[in-house]
Amino acid sequence: MYCVLRFYFIDYFWLWVVPFFVFNLIYVTKHQEIAHVRTHWTTNMTGNLALDRLIDTTMVPLTGMSKESYRRRHVSAHYADVGNVARVFSDVWLPFISFPALYYARPWRMLTTVLDKEFCVKQKLNRYQLVIETIGLYTYLIATVVELFYYKSFYLFGFHMLPLMLYQGAVLGSAAFAHSGIDKRNSFDSNGLFDPDTLPAKQGLLAFSMRFIGVVGNWAVLNHGIHHAFTQLPLEIINQEYKFINQHCLETKYKHIRYNQLLTMKVMPHLFARIPAPKWYDYILQFIICCISLVGMACSVIGLPIMPMQFEVVLIDYRILFYSTRAERAMAITSMWNVINLKEFAKTLATPNDYVPWVLSNYDNYMKDIDAAKRAGQQIEQPPAYYVDNEVLSILKRSNQKKAD
């Protein structure tokens, strides 16, 4: 299709470029899910060993995903430190800064991973497979550069690489929604259930954000939490039956079910309560916010120092920035971290990951904002007491601890 458009309809480029890009983003890139499927069926996925090996060999050029590194990340995502807060303190979770999901921006990281034998042994990575994937990655990047600058064409860069990055950004955003909790275990706190159709009109912008990242990310925002509960169930079936599954879970009365709720909403309920139902123009501005957030999360996936959790507050409702002060939001966030006893807890970590300095730095900046507001005589509404289940908190603090002398 691209060849026909490129060679016969190039004069109408500005008419077909956006529709063709959206077509690739929403329809074509969702077939990248084969990389996800492969992490759950590592042996005999297709019933044919040769076909399995062919998929593994071509996965990086076709989907941008490394079978080995994605498998390592995905196993930890399912079985260790599942909630976003738990991952801050994890010694198992590998942040994207140090271990990208896509290597387009930092291709040398795949090469250095191959050369680091100790790391591969520790993380149980197959170095032979990584060598094949490294060759595939560099071949793809060379082909992209040659096409772009020698042939003056842009399919690989504009209609393959960029859609893959945005798709993974949407999947990351969906996962950030699903895991917006504290529990390090697989629970309905660390794996939220969502259905934008059941949100009240006042939360229309949150419903809009869910649908936006759902359309781009193959509705991962709806299926991700359920997928953690039943990994063998195909995502397409979950996408069709998520309402029934959600209702079953709610009626069964599991503990601490987080339904249509994010951690930020639990931390700042008094601030979101101020916001009225959205007007028609709010959806236009929320669309712009969603696009910016999607690009930011795509940058996070490729290993740039951008934390996906920082987009959560504006994806819920961008108007929170106008209906509350920075100091009030800082007060609510630091109150949550104080319940966890962040500063003291961080000192006990045996191997802090890349998230810890970022969170500590943010905490200090928030405290400075609060002090500055108080000195200026601003009134700061106290947030309601934030509650964390004692069992969840004790399990959170049981891992990655320094050994006693």
Q: Are residues 256 and 350 in the same domain?
A: no
Q: Are residues 108 and 242 in the same domain?
A: yes
Q: Is position 403 within any domain?
A: no
Say if residue 401's pLDDT is above 80: no
Return the percentage of the chain with pLDDT > 90, whole number: 59
User: Is the CB of residue 160 less than 8 Å from the CB of residue 170?
Assistant: no
- Mean pLDDT of the 328-345 span: 91
- Tally of domains within the chain: 2
pLDDT of residue 386: 79
Q: Is position 29 within any domain?
A: yes
Q: Are residues 112 and 211 in the same domain?
A: yes
- Mean pLDDT of the 242-250 span: 94
Q: Is position 232 within any domain?
A: yes
Say if residue 352's pLDDT is above 50: yes
Lowest mean pLDDT among 124-128, 146-150, 253-257: 253-257
User: Where does a domain end: 262, 284, 315?
Assistant: 315
Say if residue 399's pLDDT is above 80: no
Q: What band does 404 get if pLDDT is binned at 50, 70 and 90?
A: very low
Say if residue 18's pLDDT is above 80: yes
Alpha carbons 89 and 355: distance in angstroms, whole number: 8
In order of 48, 96, 109, 185, 246, the CA distances from 70 in angstroms are 22, 11, 14, 20, 28
Tokens 């990281």 belong to 109
As a whole number, the mean pLDDT across the chain is: 90
> 384 or 399, which is more confident?
384
- Mean pLDDT of the 188-199 span: 94
What is the full DSSP assignment across 205-252?
Answer: HHHHHHHHHHHHTTTHHHHHHHHHH-TTS-HHHHHHHHHHHHHHHHHH
Say if residue 19's pLDDT is above 60: yes
Q: Are residues 244 and 384 in the same domain?
A: no
pLDDT digit string, tens, across residues 220-244 = 999 999 999 888 888 989 999 999 9
- Mean pLDDT of the 4-27 span: 90
In order of 19, 92, 155, 191, 402, the CA distances from 81 in angstroms are 40, 8, 39, 11, 17
User: Where does a domain end: 278, 295, 315?
Assistant: 315
Say if residue 287's pLDDT is above 60: yes
Q: Is position 401 within any domain?
A: no
Say if residue 207's pLDDT is above 80: yes
- Token pair for 329: 């939001």
Return the percentage of the chain with pLDDT > 70, whole number: 98
Q: Are residues 254 and 343 in the same domain?
A: no
* Closest C-alpha among 104, 235, 244, 251 to residue 178: 235
Q: Is position 72 within any domain?
A: yes
> 51 or 397, which is more confident?
51
- Token pair for 134: 């490294």
Say if residue 402's pLDDT is above 80: no
Q: Are residues 291 and 329 in the same domain?
A: no
Q: Is position 404 within any domain?
A: no
Q: Are residues 346 and 299 in the same domain?
A: no
pLDDT of residue 346: 87
Alpha carbons 252 and 335: distance in angstroms, whole number: 32
Q: Are residues 213 and 300 in the same domain?
A: yes
User: Where does a domain end: 315, 339, 363?
Assistant: 315
Q: Are residues 194 and 330 in the same domain?
A: no
pLDDT of residue 312: 95
Query: What is the pTM assigned to this prediction?
Result: 0.92
Q: Which domain holds residue 338?
A: 323-396
Q: Are residues 98 and 168 in the same domain?
A: yes
pLDDT of residue 94: 83
Q: Is position 402 within any domain?
A: no
